Amino acid sequence: GHAQSFHAAALASLIAGQPRSAALPVGVAPGAKIYDVQVFDSAEAEPGSDETPILADNVAKALRDVLQHVTQYDIKGVNITLSIPDSTEVAGLIQQLWDAGVVTVAPTGNRPGADNADPDAAPSSVPSFNAGENAADQIHPADYPDVLAVNAIATGLPAGMC
């Protein structure tokens, strides 16, 4: 069976979440509609399984699908919430999206700091990461010219968690 992950649903609510009450968060674009394109089943998919791993080719295929539907669905933004190996094809497709008026957003990566040496926090596409080093040119697609690169930090966590 496929592992369950609610990451995409959580991001969709951060993007297009509707108002519920004054005390609860609302998405940054509550009127937005989500066009969902799945690019993987499991980051750790085993060869020979029926699960699809994270591959630049899968991201390229999804971006081609988005490009085909930009006008039909009035797509204004693409969220690629993962890190992939460098891909000239993906970079080219992102440029085509930009030229079509579509902004692509991608994370700069959750990299461990001096207080959190968790190797699982480093993007899988960064082969030799050391805490504190500038790995900006290794985080794809966030480092591509036509990408809005974003990140977040957590506050209020117990010591050593951020």
- Give me the mean pLDDT over the 128-138 stretch: 68
SS3 84: strand
Collapsing DSSP to helix, strand or coil, 91 comes out as: helix
Q: How confident is the model at residue 139 (pLDDT cuts 50, 70, 90)?
A: confident
Q: What is the pLDDT of residue 23?
A: 76
pLDDT of 160 above 50: yes
Helical axes 56-73 vs 88-99, angle rounded to 10°: 10
CA-CA distance, 126 to 147, in Å (whole number)?
Answer: 18
- Where residue 82 falls among pLDDT bands split at 50, 70, 90? confident
Residue 127, pLDDT score = 55
- What is the C-alpha separation between 33 and 130, in angstroms, rounded? 39
Q: Which two tokens stand for residue 109?
A: 């990566």
pTM across the whole model: 0.75
pLDDT digits (tens, 9 = 90+) for 30-73: 888 888 888 876 666 666 777 777 788 989 999 999 999 999 99
Q: Rounded distance, CA 29 to CA 32, Å? A: 5
Please, which residues bridge with residue 77 across strands?
Answer: 103
Question: What is the reported pLDDT for 90?
Answer: 96
Q: Residue 66: what pLDDT?
A: 96
Q: Which of 135, 60, 125, 123 is nearest to 95 (CA)?
A: 60
Model confidence pLDDT, tens digit, residues 92-132 = 999 999 999 999 999 887 554 444 444 444 444 455 666 66
Q: Quote the pLDDT of residue 129.
A: 60
Tracing tokens 């977040």 back to the chain, one arrives at: 152
User: What number of residues does the chain have?
Assistant: 162
Q: Nearest 5°: phi and psi at 15?
A: -85, -55
Amino acid 25: pLDDT = 77
